[in-house]
Amino acid sequence: MYTTELEDKNKKPAPREVLVAEDPAKLVAFEARVAADEFIEPKDWMPAAYRKTLVRQMSQHAHSEIVGMLPEGNWITRAPSLRRKAVLLAKVQDEGGHGLYLYAAAETLGTSREEMIEALHSGRAKYSTIFNYPTLTWADIGAIGWLVDGAAILNQVPLQRTSYGPYARAMVKICKEESFHQRQGFEIMTVLAGGSPEQRRMAQDALDRWWWPSLMMFGPPDDNSPNTAQSIRWRIKRETNDELRQKFVDVTVPQADAIGLKVPDPKLAWNEARGSYDFGPVDWEEFYAVVRGEGLVAKDRMKARVAAWEDGAWVREAATAHAAKHVVKAAAE
């Protein structure tokens, strides 16, 4: 998930002209390989703009996995049954694992994990806007699994065939786990929607709050998405934001119907001719505000991440110091 461009909408798309600086023969060969659906590997030649886009996209994805541990981690200690606690712990642990795979895959492009983390903490790197919304009730844990992981699946399944080999392979591992995440979320929502009036209220309220931010996860509309064309050409991306968003709506609306929850969109209607749902306009002003860091809990999220990193510095230093002593000891023996 979380692979949409989170650039400012006024930023100009990477122009074809930047490619002029590249060796034309190499560029032609590269684009032919990509067009033939070959995987590009770390040692292969690639245009600088391709490398840059990938580092941005993969690190953004990794950061999203890590920041995404916070809203769900917020409920592990309050999970309402032993089974729910175990499932949520396992899920959040998976998300941390996804972060690890993705940082490792991004490192093959020559940027270290520390550099990427530094970029996150300084605000230069982005993460998915969805995690800047608060988890207020237990139903939010259901909504995140159902909607956010559901959106992630749609986003990530095509990325298993993305052109950069290490990224594609990381996605194959990750996709296997995401469907379990989506199912556990939907199961939580199903139980709440069929529960007491208070539980039903929590479930509907969670859907009301998470629906639109989930649609925003696919990124700005295609005509306002600066890097989409180039990313599709390079098979970094395989479907456009609007195509994926439509798929999400089509898959999710019947699920909401099935458990008796109402999608908070008065314009939502089945379009027989298109064989798809029509839906109302997304509030893109809100999206860009959240991208700029104005989400309700954006500051809390970064504060928590920075604190974990800074408070843990002495632990990482100790591990490094200990390892170094042992290298010295081993050499002396």
List residues binding another protein (CB under 8 A): 66, 69-70, 73, 76-86, 89-90, 92-93, 96-97, 99-100, 103, 138, 188, 191-192, 195-196, 198-199, 304, 307-309, 311-319, 321-322, 325
Partner from Fe ion, another protein, none binding residue 299, C-beta < 5-8 Å depending on class: none
Least distance to another protein from the beta carbon of 259, Å? Answer: 15
Q: Which is nearer to another protein, 5 or 95 (CB)?
A: 95
Least distance to another protein from the beta carbon of 290, Å? Answer: 20
Partner from another protein, Fe ion, none binding residue 226, C-beta < 5-8 Å depending on class: none
> Does residue 107 interact with Fe ion by CB under 5 A?
no
CA quadruple 1, 259, 251, 248: dihedral, nearest 10 = -40
- Scan residues 130-159 and list those touching Fe ion (CB under 5 A): 149, 152
Q: Which is nearer to another protein, 70 or 130 (CB)?
A: 70
Partner from Fe ion, another protein, none binding residue 181, C-beta < 5-8 Å depending on class: Fe ion
Least distance to Fe ion from the beta carbon of 144, Å? Answer: 9
Residue 104 tokens read as: 């490792």
Least distance to another protein from the beta carbon of 142, Å? Answer: 10
Q: Which is nearer to another protein, 29 or 318 (CB)?
A: 318
Q: Which is nearer to Fe ion, 5 or 178 (CB)?
A: 178
Least distance to Fe ion from the beta carbon of 181, Å? Answer: 4
Partner from another protein, Fe ion, none binding residue 164, C-beta < 5-8 Å depending on class: none
Of 154, 2, 158, 8, which is closest to residue 65 (Cα–Cα)? Answer: 2
Least distance to Fe ion from the beta carbon of 62, Å? Answer: 9
Least distance to another protein from the beta carbon of 325, Å? Answer: 7
- Amino acid 271 reads N
Q: Which is nearer to Fe ion, 72 or 107 (CB)?
A: 72
> Does residue 72 interact with Fe ion by CB under 5 A?
no
- Chain residues binding Fe ion by CB under 5 A are 1, 65, 95, 98, 149, 152, 178, 181
